Structure 1
Amino acid sequence: MQLVAHLVYWYSTHALYCMPVAAVLIPAVLLGTRSLPAGVQQALTGMVIGLAVLTFFTIFAGSWLAGWLVYRVGETGQGEVVSTYATSVQYNNHDVRGHHVLLRTQTGQTVATSFEDDNFNVYPPANSVNYPDVGEKFTARYLPAYPQDFVIITNDNSPYAHGKQCAALLDSLQEARRTHEFDLTIAASKQAYRALIHRVIARGCYTDSTDLREYDGDLAKVQLEPCQALLDSLDIVRTRYNADVADETNKRVYLALIRRVVARPPCYTDSADLRKYYSDMKRVQASYQQLR
């Protein structure tokens, strides 16, 4: 199985080079087999067509298949990018760069290998990748028999993966902060902002105690008002109740929350709101009587 994974990996990383070869080889073989017996012609034609299909499939899905195979068949090791180098290849208007890597296997062997940033040798698969910088350590899955074939793990706790996940989380936090500051009265944006701050703190996505104090200060400033939190809960439970009016748990929770709101005059604006809450209470209580 490792040999299969190795061949798929090699082909996926050389597909762009194989395509012109296949484009030249296909007509050459088809023209050159005319003088051969029919059986030989059919066999060679089938092989050439298979090569063409494999080449085009590899260009579009080869990196995904190769990454999946190496991940499933391979072992876990530790890698580090030690330098980068320029290539003469351009891919989608991007100048492809290579990365020299040192990979430490489970047996303690150090393997010098490399990859280029159009290989997409990451797991889970992705259409765009921010590869490790020079000096950045990452977790890899490699083929024991062919340790130069490896994929970079992007969803574990390695320094590279952690930094990648934190970068995405901090981008979301900045967006949530801007949304909240645009209108400080919107409870939903407050909740989203607070939730992201908690996630950033829980993931350790901060540099030092100064950053941590800043996040704690933001949490203190973005306190949800007690009434607003209560009304938000009431909206959620109302939706659940309307979706299934026969659910006894929804009824009890909905009634309890309405009573809590009614018991706190600051949590409603005027008598019209109060009449609405009493109307909702009667509606829920009436459903109890109907069931009896």
Structure 2
Amino acid sequence: MDIVSYILHFNQNHSVLIAIATLFALFPLAILKKRYYLGTFMMIFGCLNFGFNSEMNRWYVNQHGIRGTGTLTEAKESSVVINKKPQREFEVLIKAKDGQIIKSSFASYDDIFINENPAEEVTPPPEIGEEFTILYLPGDLKNFAILVDDYKSPYGKRIYCAELKNQQPAAGQTNPPEADCP
């Protein structure tokens, strides 16, 4: 399981490098061996890699991850701008189930939030000092995902209560007992 985690994590963080390496590996092979279908494979792989690498990694972490906790320690502006909106980078302390603590980071443009019932397209990040639940893979604590819908964590409870305030309750709908919104 460790090797799959490392491959998916590397693929998520270095998708351009993987696409270039695939190009340099398959293009000469396609020319020399006159196997032009390899070029088609290369284009399909490149598109799938750019489009689905984050989703594959997030799915794998969601299926095989172990629960831990994280605390946001620092937030700063990054040099990345998407849709004329500056993105942020976050430093986080991750505490594993065995008590090991490591420092890691993520950015607001990373696709690391797991939300089973997304009400919004963009999930707000945790606040500084706020504790949240994560899923991580054994042996690779830096490959983690933040659980948004864990109502037992302060972050999950804050997100859930904000969603409740923004929507009308359906007939007979009640809050989960662990959420306890004011």
Interval of TM-score (by shorter of Structure 1 and Structure 2) = 0.7 to 0.9
Moved more, 52-61 or 142-151: 52-61
Find out whether 1:147 has 2:141 as its counterpart: yes
| Unaligned runs of at least 5 residues, structure 2 | none
* From 88, 97, 103, the counterpart of 2:88: 97
> TM-score, normalising length from structure 1?
0.52
8 Å CA contact 2:72–2:129 kept in 1: the answer is yes
8 Å CA contact 1:26–1:49 kept in 2: the answer is no
Find out whether 1:166 has 2:161 as its counterpart: yes
* From 27, 30, 50, the counterpart of 2:27: 30
8 Å CA contact 1:18–1:55 kept in 2: the answer is no
* From 46, 62, 67, the counterpart of 1:71: 62
Q: What pairs up with 1:197-212 in 2 under 5 angstroms?
A: 199=175, 203-206=179-182
Corresponding residue for residue 11 of structure 2: 11
Deviation, 1:95, is: 1.8
SS of residue in 1 equivalent to 2:127 = coil
Q: Distance in 2 between matches of 1:136 and 1:106?
A: 18
Deviations 1:26-73 (A, max 9, x none): 389636974x4x2xx649x73x65554333223322222211101222
- Using a 3 Å threshold, how does the CA distance of structure 1 residues 80 and 202 change in structure 2: closer, same or farther? closer
8 Å CA contact 2:22–2:42 kept in 1: the answer is no
Identity within the alignment, %: 22
Displaced runs of 4 or more, over 6 A: none
Q: Distance in 1 between matches of 2:129 and 2:175?
A: 27
SS of residue in 2 equivalent to 1:128 = coil
- Using a 3 Å threshold, how does the CA distance of structure 1 residues 55 and 93 change in structure 2: closer, same or farther? farther
Q: Distance in 2 between matches of 1:72 and 1:51?
A: 28
Q: Distance in 1 between matches of 2:42 and 2:68?
A: 33
CA RMSD of aligned residues (A): 3.3
- Using a 3 Å threshold, how does the CA distance of structure 1 residues 202 and 171 change in structure 2: closer, same or farther? farther
8 Å CA contact 2:70–2:131 kept in 1: the answer is yes
Q: Could you say which structure has the higher helix fraction?
A: 1
Deviation, 1:93, is: 3.0
Q: Across the two proteins, how many residue pairs are aligned to each other?
A: 178
8 Å CA contact 1:100–1:113 kept in 2: the answer is yes
Q: Distance in 1 between matches of 2:60 and 2:25?
A: 33
SS of residue in 2 equivalent to 1:134 = coil
Find out whether 1:134 has 2:110 as its counterpart: no
Deviation, 1:3, is: 1.7
> TM-score, normalising length from structure 2?
0.79
* From 32, 51, 55, the counterpart of 2:46: 55
Corresponding residue for residue 124 of structure 1: 115
- Using a 3 Å threshold, how does the CA distance of structure 1 residues 86 and 14 change in structure 2: closer, same or farther? farther
Q: Could you say which structure has the higher strand fraction?
A: 2
8 Å CA contact 1:120–1:129 kept in 2: the answer is no
Q: Distance in 2 between matches of 1:148 and 1:131?
A: 17
Write the letter of the residue equivalent to 2:145.
V
Deviation, 1:98, is: 0.9
Q: Distance in 1 between matches of 2:139 and 2:42?
A: 25
Write the letter of the residue equivalent to 2:10.
W
- Using a 3 Å threshold, how does the CA distance of structure 1 residues 72 and 200 change in structure 2: closer, same or farther? closer
SS of residue in 1 equivalent to 2:105 = strand
Q: Distance in 2 between matches of 1:28 and 1:68?
A: 28
